[in-house]
Structure 1
């Protein structure tokens, strides 16, 4: 990266740190200058994310293994949780002696995972499982959501959405008596129907100009698109069946395969219209995956393997050229 770009990026960062510009403007201005070397900010971010998850899991498993007293375990987890929140919030304050916002975010994430273990332990050993498991997961997810917005923490928002997905699956399973169907829907079908709502949440955040980081909107989009496509992928292979040992009939599988393709064409058109690389990327990836899945499904046993892979490779190149041409228009 040129020396001039470094100077400009440093000035933009100073404006952001001094509250002269907001985060969204900071991200837009920074993205205008291409970095041709290792982006240490990204490395630090993901190092802290991985470290936060590993430390949390290690602490929880260590306490569960070593500490025999249930009450003492609750006390230790509560103390660790409160300490982590305290110093995490402190490190994110610009008027604090040590301003390390990314490290503060990591501490907050660690505290959130410890909080989940603490709440489950309190419910199990003190209140004798007064609150059912799915409800506990939903409660923890709401707490995560509040913390994520309060401190604008991306990782905690990811935890919250994962928690809500787990709650949704567990709650519908609990209501149906842990049957394979809920209102006639298996698990993939349920998530296929709920996923567009996650995308809409991100859209309304942007439409209503909520004062949140742009990254929050991208997280909602990413979760919705990923869950929608994975659900439709499973439905295109097994159908709306209650077990992976059972397969839907050919008409049902063909319907879901076509539906999956239509959904991704729509996603691609939306991404192309609004110049959104995330939507375009997801659409292209899963259109190709759809074609590959159908190809393996119908031709694996029908043609010689050498010809099979030649055709598969040629198809990949043609698809890549087509989408590259579309994007360059």
Structure 2
């Protein structure tokens, strides 16, 4: 909320109290909630204090863990930390004055991430071999815990963690490969594409329901749409690459292109910028990938980049001209 709006609400609550419309206790609560004096400094101090406590606590746990050299002990200690962070975050969120809503959401999310780490350590304590199946199962469990927390306490940050864990638990992964390079893969791209499309469809329904019976969960549907479109489009894009599906590459290229065009059309139809944006971005990636596959080995690097740049300028000019015609 802007500072001017907060000051207006504080003044209005004081005026209501003087008129006898609300009690003095309610007026004090509203005034405290919308009083923004020194909020930036107090927020900075709060975050610094929390960071110091967290880092010191992890340092102590690290010393204990190194001295014991036991994954089980480390897992129990990390589980205790996860519970403490989650509990403190929930207490802040449940505060009627809502003095630290962002801090509370952050602590809850960090606590859930620490819970995944604790489960991993406890699994390692039972068996030295942490296979992919066990890792994916732990991610699904973490996703369920995060989603339950998000819906019970109306929090969006845990929902973000839940969706990340869910899609990674279904077979998506990435890692740093060294020398500034990153690697990403999807275990079963067709299934992931279907799952992403279903998640995006659920998000569109959720956004519509947020205007009525799901008003308490405003913003949740947007996250479903974003994550669903991201993983759906990435999966379809991977399927167009030769090393994923060389025999059926042309079919997947047509499917990917059609999906991108459909997103642009649906975005324009429903005036949803997320659909339009994802469609345009991944259609551009599709065209660039096809251009790279067919001309990278046939042209010099300078000529390749020159043609790509000129094509981008020409397309941008055409789109701007089209937008001017539509608005006139």
- TM-score of the pair, normalised by structure 2: 0.69
* Residue 95, structure 1, aligned to residue 91, structure 2: no
- TM-score of the pair, normalised by structure 1: 0.69
Give the CA deviation at 1:310: 2.3
Q: Distance in 1 between matches of 2:319 and 2:231?
A: 23
- Kindly indicate whether structure 1 or structure 2 has the higher relative contact order, using CA contacts under 8 Å at least 6 residues apart: 1
Aligned 8 A contact 2:61 2:77 in 1: no
Show the 5 A alignment for 1:81-92. Answer: 81-92=82-93
Structure 1 unaligned spans of 5+:
16-39, 171-184, 242-247
Between stretches 148-157 and 259-268, larger displacement belongs to: 148-157
> Structure 1 residues 236 and 132 mapped into 2: Cα distance closer, same or farther (>3 Å)?
closer
Instruction: Quote the residue 1:229 is aligned against.
Output: 233
Structure 2 unaligned spans of 5+:
13-39, 173-185
Instruction: Quote the residue 1:20 is aligned against.
Output: none
* Residue 316, structure 1, aligned to residue 316, structure 2: no
Residue of structure 1 aligned with 2:168, choices 163, 166, 172? 166
What do residues 142-188 of structure 1 show as CA deviations (whole Å, max 9, x unaligned)? 11110122223322112111211122228xxxxxxxxxxxxxx9622
> Structure 1 residues 189 and 279 mapped into 2: Cα distance closer, same or farther (>3 Å)?
same
Instruction: Quote the residue 2:105 is aligned against.
Output: 105
Instruction: Quote the residue 2:302 is aligned against.
Output: 306
What do residues 88-129 of structure 1 show as CA deviations (whole Å, max 9, x unaligned)? 112223436x82110111111111111112233344436999
Instruction: Quote the residue 1:189 is aligned against.
Output: 190
Give the CA deviation at 1:274: 1.6
Instruction: Quote the residue 1:32 is aligned against.
Output: none
Give the CA deviation at 1:238: 2.2
> Structure 1 residues 327 and 258 mapped into 2: Cα distance closer, same or farther (>3 Å)?
farther
RMSD of Structure 2 on Structure 1 (CA): 3.8
SS at match of 1:148: helix
Aligned 8 A contact 1:60 1:117 in 2: no
Aligned 8 A contact 1:105 1:153 in 2: yes
Instruction: Quote the residue 1:155 is aligned against.
Output: 157
Instruction: Quote the residue 2:273 is aligned against.
Output: 277
Residue of structure 2 aligned with 1:238, choices 224, 239, 242? 242
Give the CA deviation at 1:12: 7.2
Aligned 8 A contact 2:207 2:220 in 1: no
Instruction: Quote the residue 2:139 is aligned against.
Output: 137
Aligned 8 A contact 2:200 2:228 in 1: yes
> Structure 1 residues 254 and 145 mapped into 2: Cα distance closer, same or farther (>3 Å)?
same
Q: Which has the larger radius of gyration?
A: 2
Show the 5 A alignment for 1:48-87. Answer: 62=62, 65=66, 67-87=68-88
Aligned 8 A contact 1:60 1:114 in 2: no
Aligned 8 A contact 1:239 1:253 in 2: no
Residue of structure 2 aligned with 1:218, choices 212, 216, 222? 222
Q: Distance in 2 between matches of 1:60 and 1:194?
A: 42
Give the CA deviation at 1:301: 2.4
Instruction: Quote the residue 2:29 is aligned against.
Output: none
Aligned 8 A contact 1:189 1:240 in 2: no
* Residue 295, structure 1, aligned to residue 275, structure 2: no
Between stretches 160-169 and 287-296, larger displacement belongs to: 160-169
